[in-house]
Amino acid sequence: MADDLLRDLLRRVSRSFYLSLVILPRPLREPIGLAYLLARAADTVADTRLIAREERVRHVETLRRACAGQASDVAAVARACAPHQAHAAERRLLERLGEALARLEALPAEDRVEVRAVLATLTTGMLFDLARFPGEDAASLAALDTLDELDRYTYLVAGCVGPFWTALCVAHRPRLRRWDPREKSRAGVSFGKALQMTNVLRDVPSDLRHGRCYLPSADLWALGLVPKDLLEPGAGARVRPLYRRLLTSALAHYDVAWRYTLAIPRLEWRMRLACAWPLLIGGATLAALAAHPDPLAVTAPIKIPRGTVRALLARSALAVWSDTTLAAEAARVRRRIAL
pLDDT at 302: 92
Q: How many CB atoms lie within 10 A of CB 291?
A: 12
pLDDT at 2: 44
Domains of the chain: 1-109 (no CATH), 133-339 (1.10.600.10)
Full-model pTM: 0.95
**pLDDT tier for residue 1 given thresholds of 50, 70 and 90:** very low
Report how far residue 270's alpha carbon sits from residue 186's, in angstroms, rounded to the nearest whole number.
Answer: 22
Mean pLDDT across the chain: 94
Share above pLDDT 70 across residues of the chain, in percent, rounded to a whole number? 99
Per-residue pLDDT tens over the stretch 151-178: 999 999 999 999 999 999 999 999 998 9
Per-residue pLDDT tens over the stretch 304-325: 999 999 999 999 999 999 999 9
**pLDDT tier for residue 7 given thresholds of 50, 70 and 90:** confident
pLDDT at 209: 94
CA 44 to chain centre: 13
Maximum CA extent, the chain: 56
Q: Is the pLDDT of residue 224 over 80?
A: yes
Half-sphere CA count of 57, side-chain side, radius 13 A: 11
Report how far residue 309's alpha carbon sits from residue 98's, in angstroms, rounded to the nearest whole number.
Answer: 34
Per-residue pLDDT tens over the stretch 60-114: 999 999 999 999 999 999 999 999 999 999 999 999 999 999 999 999 999 999 9
H helices within the chain, ranges in order?
Answer: 10-13, 15-23, 26-46, 53-67, 74-81, 88-95, 97-106, 109-132, 147-154, 161-172, 181-202, 204-209, 217-222, 235-262, 269-291, 306-319, 323-335
Q: What's the sign of the alpha-carbon dihedral 128, 134, 135, 139?
A: negative
Per-residue pLDDT tens over the stretch 237-280: 999 999 999 999 999 999 999 999 999 999 999 999 999 999 99
Per-residue pLDDT tens over the stretch 113-145: 999 999 999 999 999 999 999 988 999 999 999
pLDDT at 166: 97
CA 311 to chain centre: 23
Report how far residue 127's alpha carbon sits from residue 61's, in angstroms, rounded to the nearest whole number.
Answer: 8
